[in-house]
């Protein structure tokens, strides 16, 4: 047992089933994680090093050196959360181990580079431009008109996304911390996401879903949901679109989470516009839905890619009758960290099949992302309409009360 595999891990819940993907008896599997993430590290881990944050490169490097002192240089470094992809790439480069290096992940992490590549492949995108400062955004708006969406070129979970409706809103940009940004023409069409595996030559298993509300709205206090699509015409168009995007970005296997605007074109045909794509399994409840509803584990394919193996993920030969999935996230009613003071779950036939609801007295940490939120729900049913109805009813009837606790995390 000489192989050393190092894992960057930040989830408390079991988004990834590492022991199913890596034989922990055949390799020394070490984990670099946080105090929150430590709870879901497998008991068979060779060692666990704790850091304040898994995207804190100096802290991760120090932890890695400690683990290397025990197990030797890692053969591979794994990172499944989008927020850790850059850190893992830099770690591989510093340690000289195989896998994606910073130059390899650039097209997946820099949204300006990503959008350029997709546009050059002939895929429809919004008008876009680099936005280093407010003046660049003003020039872009003169060309393309208002509103303009400005977002970090390297960001997750819609962090820092701004909609600027006119020149007076440029003050919002001036008040934001400086970082590389991208400007895009605003598109008001509904947003969909497509999740799946690109084999290197074509689509493997994939699913398409429509968001209920938006990721940006969730940051402002709205609920966020998603329901899988069962319309065959729309699925055909989204599948072709996903293949074009995935193939433009890589001729190697990769797991993707693609977001796109879907409007109606001439004759009622879907009119699809690229938004962005992540080199990873989709967040929120997507990994759970794939395992529980579709009996497929996208995380296993993502791990195979990072280990340099060919991902094996065959379509389920016997899908369930209730094979349309959906999910709902409810934000905390006050900023985290906050303590739960009251919870009221909805009752009736349209209830979710899985819930992650904090009990009264629970302290919800200020951790960001879509895991540590007010509540999480998962749904399945026979149609998009039925699942969406259940999501909307749950959102309307679920009640959560919290009080902010200062000085805690």
**Token pair for residue 225?**
């949901």
Domain boundary assignment for the chain? 4-104, 127-185, 191-404
Residue 51, pLDDT above cutoff 80: yes
pLDDT in tens, 148-172: 999 999 977 677 899 999 999 999 8
Residue 406, pLDDT above cutoff 80: no
Percent of the chain with pLDDT over 70: 96
Q: What is the pTM of this model?
A: 0.94
Query: What count of Cα atoms within 13 Å lies in the side-chain half-sphere of residue 135?
Result: 0
pLDDT in tens, 261-301: 999 988 888 999 999 999 999 999 999 999 999 999 999 99
Query: What does the pLDDT average to over 22-48?
Result: 96
Is 191-404 the same fold as 127-185?
Answer: no
Cα 405 to Cα 37, 62, 337, 339, 397, distances in angstroms: 21, 32, 6, 7, 26
From the candidate CATH numbers 3.40.50.20, 3.40.120.10, 3.60.15.10, 3.40.50.720, the one assigned to the domain spanning 4-104: 3.40.50.20
**According to CATH, what is the number of the domain 191-404?**
3.30.470.20
Query: What is the model's pLDDT at position 408?
Result: 58
Nearest Cα residue to 244 out of 119, 154, 126: 119
**Token pair for residue 46?**
């060779």
CA distance 10 to 372: 11
pLDDT in tens, 203-239: 999 999 999 998 888 988 999 999 999 999 999 999 9
Q: Work out the pLDDT band at 317, boundaries 50, 70, 90.
A: very low
Q: Give alpha helix (H) positions in 133-285.
A: 134-144, 170-174, 215-219, 232-249
Residues 6+ apart with CB under 8 A from 326: 209, 225, 226, 227, 228, 289, 378, 379, 380, 381, 387, 388, 390, 391
**According to CATH, what is the number of the domain 127-185?**
3.30.1490.20
CA distance 393 to 390: 5
């Amino acid at each position: 047992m000489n192989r050393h595999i190092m894992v960057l891990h930040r989830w408390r819940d079991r988004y990834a089933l590492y022991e199913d993907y890596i034989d922990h008896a055949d390799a020394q599997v070490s984990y670099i994680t946080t105090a929150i993430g430590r709870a879901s590290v497998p008991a068979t881990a060779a060692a666990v090093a704790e850091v304040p944050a898994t995207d804190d490169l100096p802290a991760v490097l120090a932890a890695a050196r400690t683990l290397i002192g025990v197990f030797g240089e890692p053969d591979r470094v794994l990172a499944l959360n989008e927020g850790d992809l850059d850190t893992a790439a830099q770690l591989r480069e510093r340690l000289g181990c195989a896998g994606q290096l910073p130059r390899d992940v650039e097209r997946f992490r820099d949204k300006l580079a990503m959008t350029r590549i997709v546009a050059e492949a002939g895929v429809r995108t919004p008008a876009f431009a680099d936005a280093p400062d407010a003046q660049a955004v003003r020039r872009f708006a003169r060309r393309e008109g208002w509103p303009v969406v400005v977002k970090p070129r390297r960001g997750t979970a819609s962090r820092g996304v701004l909609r600027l409706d006119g020149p007076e809103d440029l003050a919002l940009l001036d008040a934001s911390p400086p970082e590389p940004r991208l400007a895009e023409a605003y598109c008001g069409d509904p947003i969909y996401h497509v999740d799946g595996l690109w084999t290197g030559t074509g689509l493997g298993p994939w699913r398409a879903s429509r968001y209920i509300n938006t990721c940006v709205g969730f940051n402002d206090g709205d609920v966020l949901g998603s329901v899988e699509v069962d319309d065959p015409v729309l699925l055909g168009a989204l599948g072709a679109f996903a293949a074009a995007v995935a193939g433009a970005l890589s001729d190697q296997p990769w797991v993707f989470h693609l977001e796109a605007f879907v409007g109606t074109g001439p004759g009622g045909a879907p009119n699809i516009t690229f938004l962005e794509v992540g080199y990873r399994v989709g967040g929120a409840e997507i990994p759970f839905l794939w395992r529980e509803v579709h009996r497929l584990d996208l995380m296993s394919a993502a791990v195979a890619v990072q280990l340099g193996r060919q991902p094996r993920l065959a379509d389920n030969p016997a899908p369930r009758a209730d094979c349309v999935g959906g999910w709902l996230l409810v934000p905390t009613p006050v900023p985290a960290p906050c303590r739960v003071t009251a919870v009221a779950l909805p009752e009736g036939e349209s209830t979710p099949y899985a819930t992650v609801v904090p009990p009264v007295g629970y302290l919800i940490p200020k951790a960001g992302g879509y895991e540590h939120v007010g509540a999480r729900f998962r749904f399945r049913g026979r149609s998009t309409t039925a699942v969406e109805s259940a999501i909307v009813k749950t959102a309307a009837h679920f009640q959560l009360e919290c009080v902010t606790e200062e000085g805690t995390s």
